Structure 1
Amino acid sequence: MLGKPGWGAIVAGDEDGRAGAAGGAEPGGAAEPGGTAESSGTPGAAAAPEPEDVPEAAGPAGKAAGPESPEYRRARIRRRTRRVLYGALILLGVGALLVAGTGYWAYEHYTGRVQRIPHAFPTDVPAAAVPPPSRSGSQTFLLVGVDSRSDLPTTGKDAKAPEWRPGAQRSDTMMLVHLPADHKHAYVVSLPRDSWVGIPGHGMAKLNAAFSWGGPPLLIDTVQRLTRVSIDHLAVIDWSGFKKLTDAVGGVDITVERTVSRRNGPGGVWTAGPHHMDGDDALDYVRERYGLPNGDLDRTHRQQNFLRAVLSKVLSGGTVTNPLKLKRTLDQVTSVVSVDDRLSDGALRDLVWDMRAVRSSDMVFMNAPVAGFDTIDKQSVVLLDDSGSAELWEAVRNDTMADFVATHSLDRLGTHVS
């Protein structure tokens, strides 16, 4: 390796600004006029060798640059620095590939675990009753909480009972979840279960009867005719799933604004103040309505408050940054929720990615506008405000919910509820 050209000249030029000052660069080579070292028949522009390849090279004033010379030590330090940098870059590259591979596996694994609901959407609907499609880039989900009055799960991959049988299940929670095209917020609008509405083929009845009579297709058809909002996807979870999900995130913290009767579970009262609720407590909390001042409307706010509390836990830094806790949470979420079979794994992955920056603080919860209450056919019912609702549904259709929320007085979920 001693025949390689110009090492002493290059080092001297780089370190001391004296390129070409070495008169005898290496055996068999000579310094060209002007300072360009070149061996016989070999261009002087050849790449500089590594210092370990040249035990001795010419230093300043023709002196040998041995292992103890400053030039040699500086060259060796530069080489070691390059090795460290290259190694770091390689490790970073491998790490990035591992993270990407792990993320892709997680997407594939968890989206593939979500149970699909076949034939969830209505068919043979008259053209006049079909709403216009959602504005490009936005989506609207119908989120349904099913009360089967059974401890057996009816939704998710562990379902042991039929998801729907005529008259066996009721939809106690119905929320339209609008995801705007900018993916920066989410708007949740609760439809009171006691809303007095027209149900195709059945006349006027409470909204939750639609699911009991005809399952997901009839409920979707009813909501679309009521709102003229296109339902892009359906998500269903039963109360067994609600309990499991609450326990999976370690319970939820909910503040009760005023002391009210607790008619579910152990009875007694819900005392005003903060409560840490496990799955059973949370289920009693969201089911309650008879002891609440505004009945069904207060219950929808409780449901929203619970959903917000769960999402805060799921999306918190303590969950997202803890691999074991995140895995347990995702395992539970995907095991209790069912979605329509139109929502492919790829579409679900895209949705999760698009909404990755949204937190519970970016979500707006509200009730559909209500005109009042009544008793019809010996049933306590909620009368929706057709005028106020029309503007709300138009904002959902046109993906202008941000403007609507900023300019309208709404029955919104505040910091505290009953």
Structure 2
Amino acid sequence: MAARERGEAGGERPESLSLFDHEADGEPADGPAGDGEDPGGGGPEGPDAGGAAAAGGEARRRRRTRRVLIGTLAVLLVLALGLFGVAYWTVDHYASAVPRIPNAFPTVPASAQPSAVPGAGTTFLLVGLDARSDVATTGKDAKAPAWKAGAQRSDTMMLLHISADRKSAAIISIARDTLVDVPGHGKAKINAAYSWGGPALMVETVQDLTHIRVDHIAVIDWNGFRALTDAVGGVDITIPQTIEARGDARQWDAGTHHMSGDQALLYVRERYGLPNGDLDRTKRQQNFLRALMLQTMNAGTLGNPTRLTGLLKAVGDVVSVDDRLSNSDLYDLAWSMRGLRPDGVRFMNAPFGGFDTVQGQSVVLLDDAAATTLWEAVRSDRMDAYLAQHRTTSDTLGDSVR
């Protein structure tokens, strides 16, 4: 402080002073020293009076500037906090609207389940139903359980694997008629597992089949996709060649169709008019999800408040997730995937091994050798390398889907 006073008394301004420096008594840092007289002997009326007045004016301007800056920063801070509060409320509000599924995982000992592989990404089991039951919630408004024994079979099974670096994702469909071992029930079609034991038995069946640890489960209501599709303004889907009407199946003309929710639902449900039945149907479901993803990530959707709000509202009517996923977990997952691009998401079917008839029922067989290689790629988070080697196989979803 003494050095500073010597600098002022000598008429020199210390170089260390800044716009926000000020004396304890409120006097500007570059103001005159002492009682207002010029230390050089000129006095108030002396030859330096004009300089002193200019210095005083400059000090007042700097004080005003400081007040403006501080006031502006305060306003920006309030706005930022307000926007954060709105954003947090929005995220929490819509995340809370996503129903949670209790008891969604098998209760068998951990030693009887696949081991989790640290740093190997996240794997979801996606289960599609044609009609989803109300999911139980806590409190007085609790509704019916998410599953009732024998009430429904799962229409779609997909494994969604998100890479550890969140730069890629793979969606693998398992045909509903795939013949598997269902714990406690023997050989059966995989979709029977949901009917017999709900989400927990479905998870256990898939884990036993693939030896992949399922981190989370999401139950999707295909019927609810009508609202989701309409919320983004419809989707564009290309039919490569005309498929004639067959039975209750409608005719699909070749060309690109802008589909509403109702039309998209007919598209994903159809299988009787398709050459490979359920296998082609799973590819249609994947093709629809790809089109919906592209439309959702389109700036016209994300930049339109009405569409974005409708999309967020529709999510809770379409998807239920296990109760291990909290609101903050959902937010963190979505935020971690912000850099994922559409071309980083790949779709495929589990390797097809042929058709067969078991006890009078048509079933789908897996190619066990090829499937073992695929499951290991998922388990070790090496799907990018796997897909680089298998991108031309018929199991991988291409640009042309019947």
Change (3 A) 1:146 1:124: same
What is residue 91 of structure 1 aligned with on the other side? 75
Q: Counterpart of 1:214 in structure 2: which amino acid?
A: G
Which residue is equivalent to 1:17? Answer: none
> For residue 252 of structure 1, what is the amino acid of its counterpart?
V
Indicate which of 19, 23, 38 corresponds to 1:30: 38
1:330 and 2:312 aligned: yes
Aligned: 1:219 with 2:205: no
Equivalent positions of 1:196-235 (< 5 A) are 196-235=179-218
In the other structure, the counterpart of 2:386 is 404
Shift of 1:72: 7.8
Distance between the aligned counterparts of 1:72 and 1:295, measured in 2?
88
1:180 paired with 2:163, answer yes
1:416 and 2:397 equivalent?
A: no
**CA distance 1:155–1:316, change in 2 (3 Å):** farther
What is the aligned partner in structure 1 of residue 149 from structure 2? 166
Which has the higher mean CA deviation after the structures are superposed, 196-205 or 217-226? 196-205
CA root-mean-square deviation: 3.6
CA-CA distance at 1:110 after TM superposition: 2.0
1:349 to 317, 327, 331: 331
Larger radius of gyration: 1
Scaled by the length of structure 2, what TM-score is found? 0.81
1:242 to 190, 214, 225: 225
Q: Which runs of 4+ in 1 moved over 6 A?
A: 24-27, 71-77, 156-161
Which residue, out of 352, 359, 368, partners 1:370?
352
CA 260–160 in structure 1, closer or farther in 2 if over 3 Å, else same: farther
CA displacement, residues 136-159 of structure 1 (integer Å, 9 cap, x when unaligned): 3621100011124xxx76469899
CA contact (8 A) 1:156 1:334 kept: no
Q: Secondary structure at the match of 1:140?
A: strand
Cα deviation digits, residues 312-334 of structure 1 (max 9, x gap): 23333223333343222111102
> 5+ unaligned residues in a row in structure 1: which ranges?
15-23, 40-56
CA contact (8 A) 2:125 2:214 kept: yes
Deviations 1:326-372 (A, max 9, x none): 22211110233111122223322221221222233321111111122
Query: Is the partner of 1:144 in helix, strand or coil?
Result: strand
Identity %: 52
Q: Which moved more, 1:231-240 or 1:309-318?
A: 309-318
Paired position in structure 2 for 1:44: none
1:64 is aligned to 2:50 = yes
| Residue 264 (structure 1) shift | 8.2
Tell me the distance in 1 between the aligned counterparts of 2:371 and 2:218. 23
- CA apart distance, 1:28: 4.1
| TM-score, normalised relative to structure 1 | 0.78
- CA distance in 2 between counterparts of 1:102 and 1:262 reads 50
Contact preservation (8 Å) 1:155, 1:337: no
Match of 1:111 in 2: 95
The alignment partner of 2:155 has SS state of strand
Q: Which amino acid aligns with 1:64?
A: G
Higher mean C-alpha displacement, 194-203 vs 171-180: 194-203
Shift of 1:254: 1.1
Q: Identify if the C-alpha distance between structure 1 residues 10 and 339 changes in structure 2 by more than 3 Å, giving closer, same or farther.
A: same
Aligned equivalents of 1:159 and 1:302: distance in 2? 35
CA contact (8 A) 1:135 1:398 kept: no
AA of the residue aligned to 2:234: G
Number of matched pairs: 377
Separation in 2 of the partners of 1:126 and 1:306? 36
- Residues 28/119 of structure 1: CA separation in 2 closer, same or farther (3 Å cut): closer
Letter of the aligned partner of 1:208 in structure 2? N
- Cα distance per residue 1:168-197 (max 9 Å; x no partner): 212111100011111112111111111111
SS in 1 for 2:154: strand
